[in-house]
Amino acid sequence: MTKESLLEAVIEFCKLHKMAESTFGRKSVNDGKFVARLRTGARVTPETWDKVNNFMIKNGNNLLNENSKNLHVLPNDTKSPEKKNNINEEDKSKKKNFRFFDNRQKYLLFVSTCSEKEVVSKRIGMELGHVRPKPPALRIFDAGMGDGTVLAGVMREMHHRFPTMPFYVSGKEISLEDVRICLSKMSDRLFEHPASVLVFTNLFYSEAPWLKPKSMASSSSMVWKEVALQGSSSHEFSEQLNELRGFLDENWQAGHSPKTGNPIYERPTVLIIYRDDHKFLLNDVIPKQDIKKADYDLVLASQPYRLRVSSEIKSRNVLLPLVRSLGNGGRLIGIHSSGEDPAHEILKEIWPNDNPFESDRHSLLKAVKNELGSDSRYYNIKSNSDNRSIFKYDMHSLPSELEASIGTSTLFAAWNAATYVGQIDEQRLEETMKSVDYLAITQKILKKYGGLWFNDESYTISKKNF
Ligand SMILES: C[S@@+](CC[C@H](N)C(=O)[O-])C[C@H]1O[C@@H](n2cnc3c(N)ncnc32)[C@H](O)[C@@H]1O
């Protein structure tokens, strides 16, 4: 069942029941704009899909057309040529729309079972030693917040080094769930560092640092929301941040570009959060919609791209706009997985001809220099020695766990982490897991090294002071 046929079934249902599409959305999934979103190609989660399906079955199953009756049975019912074609089309569109980082469960499991995000925050914290902020605030930009673990860690480092300086902390993230998790980490930060302005946006790399969409149409439909938090305790802030859920559901919807399969925002949105009791002090730090400004002291680019994309594309689409958003003396720190570790050894045993870590920091920075052309003279572009650049992190495990027999859940966590870091796509994983004893291979490597560890590499680009 494709999204198109779901939409057709819904439209037909509304016609037959003389029900307004907004009523259908409200009654089935508590979202009056659901059908309108479906029309513009919005993503439908399996839960939403189920709710819509159940609603239609409950309210007039007999009136549904063939397609909608098959909402549940379609995957097994592949006999008729028409249905086969439907499945092929769906399969093709799934492949095109496939994005590695759509797999949230793998990401969240990885974040909580491995020390990477903590180690990365510390590494970024070291860069703060080179930063010379100017009034009115220390300004940072996170080019892909994910679940906000890195950002929250970096904000702790910032507070430690600059306890009394106002902060402007801006971040880009397209995923609604990630923004929600990230917000849940911010109440404590706002409590500890009251002079903070937080700015979250779903804009593209080329727009987000400036909080300005490129197209006129997107610019004029931009949602700009300012929230001045009342009270002074972490509990009060957390309650008010939780209440933003409805706003996020409404405005943080994402679809897929039909051309590239990349996730794209449905509505360009900027959300600004600060403490009301510090509004006066932060007046010059709070962004204004009509002022386009990006002069960051620090830009974080932690795992911001797919590893297998060429250095040229990574540099053009991701790093270039970030470099252009640096203020004088500002620094960008980039971090990505670099392999040649036990986790990579697991992957090599299974897929000997695939190297996810082929494009390294040297080729990436060469591509950045090329893209910048004569402007590269304004920047220090440093790939640094391996000693300075490469750092290690590991999978958490109990001291006794790896000595005797390794528990299945540890093996699953290790397999998840290795394949997540290697960005192995779902389809390849599924096929391999049917035919290869991947847990035995994982166990062998864990025993050989007494655990699982990984390498990341980092690089910096700083703008010279003028
Ligand atoms: C928006 S990005 C990164 C978010 C945040 N900056 C962080 O470091 O967690 C999230 C995506 O980066 C990729 N990613 C995150 N950590 C990774 C790692 N250690 N190795 C490879 N890819 C990773 C995955 O594609 C993931 O879905």
For 118-134, the DSSP string reads HHHHHHHHHHGGG----
What pLDDT score was predicted for residue 399? 65
Q: Is the pLDDT of residue 265 over 60?
A: yes
pLDDT given at position 402:
66
The pair phi, psi for residue 317, each rounded to 5°, is -85, -30
- Torsional sign, CA 368, 265, 308, 124: positive
Which residues, including other chains, have CB under 8 Å from residue 440's CB and lie 6 or more apart?
Answer: none
Residues 197 and 263 placed together within one structural domain of the fold? yes
Band of the pLDDT at 211, cuts 50, 70, 90?
A: very high
Long-range contacts (CB closer than 8 Å, 24 or more residues apart) made by 421-426: 421/110, 421/337, 421/343, 421/454, 422/307, 422/337, 422/339, 422/343, 422/344, 422/347, 422/356, 422/357, 423/100, 423/306, 423/307, 423/308, 423/356, 424/347, 424/351, 424/356, 425/98, 425/100, 426/98, 426/103
Average pLDDT over residues 338-366: 97
The last residue of one of the domains, among 273, 304, 335, is 304
Ligand 1 and 303: CB distance under 6 A: yes
The answer to whether the CB of 361 is under 6 A from ligand 1 is: no
* Residue 6 tokens, joined: 């779901």
Residue 380 lies in a domain: no
String of DSSP letters for 283-339? TTTS--TT-----EEEEEEES-S-TTS-HHHIIIIIIHHHHHTEEEEEEEEEEEE--
The answer on 167 and 66 residing in a single domain is no
Q: Which one has a higher pLDDT value, 105 or 333?
A: 333
Considering the domain architecture, whether residues 151 and 278 belong to the same structural domain is answered as yes
Alpha carbon of 107 to ligand 1 centroid (Å) = 7
71 and 152 assigned to the same domain: no
Kindly state whether residues 237 and 293 are assigned to the same domain.
Answer: yes
- Residue 168 is part of which domain span? 137-304
- Indicate if 61 and 142 belong to the same structural domain: no
Atom nearest to 300 CA in ligand 1: 6
Contact criterion met (CB below 8 Å) for 324 and 141: no
Number of separate domains in the chain: 2
Q: Looking at residue 243, what is its pLDDT? A: 97
Q: Is 100 in the pocket of ligand 1 (CB under 6 A)?
A: yes
CB neighbours of residue 132 within 10 Å: 10
Structure tokens at 320: 């270039």
Q: Is 79 among the domain residues?
A: yes
Phi, psi of 354 (to 5 degrees): -115, 130
What sections of 43-148 are H helices per DSSP?
Answer: 46-58, 66-69, 81-97, 104-113, 116-127
Contact 274, 282 (CB under 8 A): yes
Same domain, 231 and 296: yes
Please say if the pLDDT value at position 76 is more than 50: no
Of 165-174, 225-234, 398-407, minimum mean pLDDT range: 398-407
Element (H, E) at 371: helix 361-372
Q: What is the mean pLDDT of the chain?
A: 88
Q: Are residues 141 and 49 in the same domain?
A: no
CB atoms within 10 A of CB 401: 14
Distance 239 CA to ligand 1 centre (A): 28
Q: How does pLDDT run across 112-139, given as a tens digit for each residue?
A: 999 999 999 999 999 999 999 999 999 9
pLDDT tens across 23-52, in order?
989 999 988 899 988 888 888 887 788 788
Question: Could you tell me if residue 312 is inside a domain?
Answer: no
Whole-number pLDDT of residue 404? 67
User: Does residue 83 form part of some domain?
Assistant: yes
Q: How far apart are the CA of 465 and the centre of ligand 1, in A? A: 31
Q: Helix or strand or coil: residue 403?
A: coil
Sign of CA dihedral 53, 54, 60, 61: positive
Taking the whole predicted model, whether its pTM rises above 0.85 is answered as: no
What is the Cα–Cα distance from 271 to 283, expressed in whole angstroms?
16
116 pocket-lining for ligand 1 (C-beta < 6 Å): yes
β-strands 453-463, 379-382 pairing: antiparallel
Whole-number pLDDT of residue 344: 98
Asked if residue 395 belongs to a domain, the reply is no
Residues 14 and 69 in one domain: yes
Residues 287 and 194 both lie in one domain? yes
Question: Same domain for 83 and 144?
Answer: no
Q: In whole angstroms, give the CA distance from residue 149 to residue 116.
A: 10
Which ligand 1 atom sits closest to the C-alpha of 111? 9
144 lines ligand 1 (CB under 6 A): yes
Enumerate residues 6+ apart whose C-beta is below 8 A from 157.
121, 122, 124, 125, 128
Residue 451 CA to ligand 1 center (angstroms) comes to 22
Co-location of 163 and 285 in the same domain: yes
In a domain, 442, yes or no: no
* % the chain with pLDDT above 70: 89
CA 453 / ligand 1 centre spacing (Å)? 16
Whether residue 62 is predicted with pLDDT greater than 50 in this model: the reply is no
**Arithmetic mean of pLDDT, 407-436:** 93
Ligand 1 contact, 101 CB (< 6 A): yes
Domain end call among 267, 284, 304: 304
Could you identify the atom of ligand 1 that is nearest to the CA of residue 337? 20
Q: What pLDDT score does 420 carry?
A: 96
Predicted confidence at residue 99, as pLDDT, reads 44
Q: Domain end: 304, 321, 341, which one?
A: 304
Evaluate the CA torsion angle 422, 425, 430, 434 in order and state its sign.
negative
Instruction: Please tell me the distance from the alpha carbon of residue 124 to that of residue 390, in angstroms, as a whole number.
Output: 13
Phi-psi bin for 144: left (phi > 0), alpha (psi -120 to 50), beta? left
Beta carbons within 10 angstroms of residue 420's beta carbon:
22
Ligand 1: residue whose CA is nearest its atom 21: 421
Residue nearest to atom 20 of ligand 1 (CA): 421
pLDDT score at 60 = 64
256 lies in some domain: yes
- Asked whether 86 and 39 are in contact (CB, 8 A), the reply is no
The answer to whether residue 426 sits within a structural domain is no
